[in-house]
Amino acid sequence: MNDKELKEKVKDLQIIVDEEMFTKLKKYAELLKIWNEKFNLTRIIEKNDINLKHFYDSLCIQKAINLYEYNNLVDFGTGAGFPGMVLAIFFKNLKVDLIEANTKKCLFLNEIKENLQLENVNIINKRAEDYSKENREKYDIATCRAVSHLSTIIELSVPMIKINGFFVPLKGEIKDEIEESKSKIKEIGIKIEKIINYKLPIENSTRNIIILKKITKTDHKYPREYNKIIKDLKNVKK
């Protein structure tokens, strides 16, 4: 996806854009390639691939939920900043917190924040389960992209979300994960509002965005220690 195609596709998402936003994306891509030579941030380093698989793919969350209607968002396991950093560029109404356990990746995220002068971004170098325990029912929206199994990320995210807030993960194929997560969805007090299925342009790969609404306060036993979460997941998948 070249720069012209990216601009057209982003406008199709009903996102209000200006040229400064795309200038920042260009700088983002340049810094990503430079830093990727020092640290292993991403396997996707060609400009057109970055546009499609990182920038456009991140913004597709707008297909599922209108981000102009909310005040804050947390993206955990953000890696090199996807989707959260890209959302902060395009949705200036959002205060965006990025949770990343890898210290080197956080150095990169801080570099992007400073270079692009993103005052609505906060970078937190912590494990998601630790941060979630300390920041209960704080966010309108939690999201992540390609982090882990749905059952796992539900437990990590839902304690952070306000009642009537949303968890909106960006996923690939999800049929098995939905089935394997049914008991966790019920137990933790959320419900599936909608699933948006679409094909990523050009490469035609499958994408799914799940909109999960929080309907009750989360029991303080969640999130559990990560090894316990993973142990339960292994049992579910047997």
Tens-digit pLDDT profile for residues 62-76 = 999 999 999 999 999
Which of 54-80 are b and which e, b meaning 16 or more Cβ less than 10 Å from the residue's Cβ? bbbbbbbbbbbbebeebebbbbbbbbb
Q: Which positions of the chain have pLDDT values less than 70?
A: 236-238
Residue 62 has, within 13 A of its CA and on its CB side, a CA count of 23
Q: Which structural domains are found in the chain, ordered by start?
A: 66-236 (3.40.50.150)
Predicted TM-score (pTM) above 0.75: yes
Interatomic CA distance for residues 17 and 10, integer angstroms: 8
The answer to whether 191 touches 213, Cβ cutoff 8 Å, is yes
Interatomic CA distance for residues 29 and 83, integer angstroms: 14
Instruction: Check residue 226 and give its pLDDT.
Output: 86
The answer to whether 82 touches 61, Cβ cutoff 8 Å, is no
Q: What is the DSSP string of 120-187?
A: TEEEE-S-HHHHHHHSTT-EEEEE-BS-S-HHHHHHHHGGGEEEEEEE--EES--HHHHHHTHHHHHH
- Indicate if the alpha-carbon torsion angle 36, 42, 45, 50 is positive or negative: negative
The answer to whether 233 touches 151, Cβ cutoff 8 Å, is yes
Report residue 19 as tokens.
Answer: 């040229």
What is the radius of gyration, based on Cα positions, of the chain? 17
State the alpha helices, DSSP H only, in 173-225: 175-180, 182-188
Interatomic CA distance for residues 96 and 93, integer angstroms: 9
What count of residues does the chain have? 238
Report residue 1 as tokens.
Answer: 């996806």
- Cβ count within 10 A of residue 12: 10
The CA-CA-CA angle for residues 26, 29, 33, to 5°, reads 145
Instruction: Check residue 167 and give its pLDDT.
Output: 98
Instruction: Check residue 236 and give its pLDDT.
Output: 67
Instruction: Check residue 232 and give its pLDDT.
Output: 79
Tens-digit pLDDT profile for residues 167-179 = 999 999 898 999 9
